[in-house]
Structure 1
Amino acid sequence: MSKNRFFACIRSSFFSRLLMGVVAAAITGTACAAGEAWPKEINLGYQKYGPLIILKSTGELEKRLKEHGVTVNWAEFQFGPPMLEALNAGSLDFAVTGETPPVAAQAAKGSPLVYVASEPASPQGEGIVVKADSELKTIADLKGKKVAVAKGSNAHFFLIQALAKAGLTLDDISVAYLAPADARAALERGDVAAWSIWDYFYAAAEIQLGVRALANGEGIVNNYAFYTSRRDFVEQYPALIDVVLDEVRKTDQWVKNNPVEASEKLAAHVSIDAKILEKALRRSNYGPEPLKPEVTAAQQKIADTLLAIKLLPYQINVQDAVWQPKGK
């Protein structure tokens, strides 16, 4: 072989390999862009109640994702706002909260939050409670009183709406922004007159403290639950999101059909009395589904309400954060 032909062959081989590499990279890039790749891990945020913690206790999600080489990591939070702060910061990939925390999280600068599904309304799962011997009988009686609530939680919006229905605003009461455990203790000590709270804390207060509800969410709020993620994560791994939601759906159906067994299983996992959990589970509704227009509109109402009372820094459009899977 001549010297010139030898180098021509090398050049031809080199450029062929280079072209093949470029094509392979393009194909890989397309696959990743389309979400066909699987991550090494997924980090899920949950609270000490609800379908995600039951799913955690079963290990079914780990079994499902093992074949794809995905490790499942779980992180417990006492309530929604700090969980979604972690999601916004990239520490979580998937989380479930009540209806108000995603609104506040979306308003954070550069928030990557997206809604991926919602659970049906469960208005009975929230209550504004007082001690059994309290002189307070109605929401209107809260005027001038101190009321505990977790700031930015679904119970916060519930309190706002319940007061509005009674012709009051937050300015008519003294608000004590407390996490659930601290709020319960404050009510027991008499440091606050009332407490706006959600299940399971609500059910626990009813059974263990004998509290009385001035109102629950019926006719006041929807009390939806939302599954959220980060836009970058869902766009790269839509198949993974589908798997998680499928396992949640299976768990939901089992809980709906077996509330006693579900409460006992959950009680063993979280060290909470099964009777408390059963009461909470029975007044919850189940089944994750894509956000319907009326659900998105309800979230927008929350955003507009919080903006009007200066609890949001600026106007947001909830629809902008609703994930629209490609091809669906």
Structure 2
Amino acid sequence: MRSRPYGRLMTAVLCAVSLFGVTALSACSSSTASAGGGGDKITLGFSAWPGWFPWQVAEEQGLFKKNNVNIELKYFDSYTDSINALSTGAIDGNSQTLNDTLAAVSGGAKETIILVNDNSTGNDKIIARDGINSIADLKGKKVAVEQGLVDHYLLLLALREANMTEKDVQLVPMETGAAAAAFKGGQVDAVGAFQPFADTALSRQGSKALATSAEFPGAIPDHLALKADLVKSKPQLAQALVNTWFDTIKWIKDNKDKATEIMAKRGGSTVEAYKAFDSGTTIFTLQQNLDAFTPGTTPEHLNHQAQSVVDFMMSTGLTQKAPSLDGLFDDTFVKAVPKS
């Protein structure tokens, strides 16, 4: 699942960009940079999040081929590894959260967001044991969370809303799957986790979700990010990927049962369990993409949300350097999607 310790990501990025320099970074990316629709193969990464499983459907139903994309779809068991792979140029694109992309960019990675896959609308959760009934009740309690990960961000948002800070709890840094297991085993009082690890945590008797991403609309957008130089040199490829995504969403709508079966299998869950994730992840339509890319002053607009995330990351010490937002968002491709 989405699992990326901030420290490990920054180390990988800084090693690629600062320590070894531009030459090493270019060498790292040279094997994948020469890609195009129907040309050399490119590598697209994704990991276990409901909003990214449609890529598996695209591959199995030949929708990449339909759009003349020669692609290696690379599934990462560890979201951490997928983030690092894009940051260092080992892959050409990846599906990832906005705050994780901003963390990578602040470390020197050159990435461009060309598509919004989804928004988390409940599948990220802060879960507590029996007897803890509010965020305020977490004061002094042990809370397991993966530092720098999206649910660390969610925890900080929830604490701020309760007029608290991270200093008011005993933060227990732990990989998300291990954190959910530790909570289930009674080793900590609360946990920040996303699906399906959230369900693992909720299997502890008496446990409950104190806060979810549904309470912070627009705070956790997930998207497709490509290497910035690839977007510039191969715009036809970027367009083909975006077209494939919307072809896939249409195919899923028209073949719901088969699509759910494919996505559940990729996620290692049953069809029944996967269906329960639906409401917690909102797949964006083309119009929602167009609206999100349009500059605005509400959380529904990517530029506004990005600035909010940057301000928050700086104020909480998640990053020491504010990333530049110049060129981060490119709406060219969602604007050019053929209207069906």
Greater alpha carbon shift after TM alignment, 118-127 vs 192-201: 118-127
Q: Give aligned-pair identity as a percent.
A: 20
Distance 1:258 1:151 in 2: 38
Q: Deviation at 1:280?
A: 1.0
- Give the counterpart letter for 2:135 in structure 1: I
Equivalent of residue 239 in structure 1, options 236, 241, 252: 236
Aligned residue type for 2:263:
L
Question: Which residue pairs with 1:26 in the alignment?
Answer: none
> For residue 315 of structure 2, what is the aligned residue in structure 1?
308
Aligned equivalents of 1:257 and 1:149: distance in 2?
Answer: 38
Cα offset, 1:202, TM superposition: 2.4
Q: Deviation of residue 194 (structure 1)?
A: 0.9
Does residue 251 (structure 1) correspond to residue 251 (structure 2)? The answer is no
- Per the TM alignment, residue 63 of structure 1 is displaced from its structure 2 partner at its CA by 5.4
> Any residues of structure 2 matched to 1:199-214 within 5 Å, and which?
199-206=195-202, 211-214=207-210
> 2-side partners of 1:112 and 1:87: how far apart?
9
User: Aligned partners of 2:85 and 2:49: how far apart in 1?
Assistant: 19
Counterpart residue number, 2:294 = 292
Taking only aligned residues, the RMSD between alpha carbons, in angstroms, comes to 2.9
SS of residue paired to 2:281: coil
Contact 1:36 1:236 in 2 (8 A): no
Q: Is the contact made by 1:61 and 1:247 (CA closer than 8 Å) also made in structure 2? A: no
Say if 1:145 and 1:68 are closer, same or farther in 2 by CA, change over 3 A: same
**1:46 matched residue in structure 2:** 46
Match of 2:136 in 1: 140
Q: Which position in structure 2 is the counterpart of 1:20? A: none
Kindly tell me: are residues 117 and 54 of structure 1, through their superposed partners in 2, closer, same or farther at Cα, counting changes over 3 Å?
Answer: closer
TM-score, L = length of structure 2: 0.75
Q: Output the CA distance in 1 between the equivalents of 2:195 and 2:254.
A: 19
Cα gap change, 1:61 to 1:234, in 2 (>3 Å): farther
Look up the SS of the partner of 1:59 in the other structure.
helix
**Which has more radius of gyration?**
1
Distance in 2 of aligned mates of 1:202 and 1:150: 13
Change (3 A) 1:190 1:121: same
- Shift of the 299–104 alpha-carbon distance from structure 1 to 2, 3 Å rule, reads same
Q: Cα distance 1:183–1:98, how it changes in 2: closer, same or farther (>3 A)?
A: same
Aligned match of 1:220? 216
Letter in 1 for 2:294: K
TM-score, with normalisation over the residues of structure 1?
A: 0.78
What corresponds to 2:94 in structure 1? 95
SS of the aligned residue for 2:214 comes to coil
Which residue does 1:56 correspond to in 2? Answer: 56
Alignment map for 1:263-302 (pairs within 5 Å)? 263-287=260-284, 289=289, 291-293=293-295, 294-302=301-309
Partner secondary structure for residue 116 of structure 1? strand
Distance (Å, rounded) in 1 between the aligned partners of 2:271 and 2:152: 27
Asked if 1:75 corresponds to 2:75, the answer is yes
> Take 2:165 and 2:269, find their aligned partners in 1: how far apart are those partners?
35
Moved more, 89-98 or 45-54: 45-54
Count of equivalent residues: 291
Displacement of 1:51 after TM fit?
A: 4.6
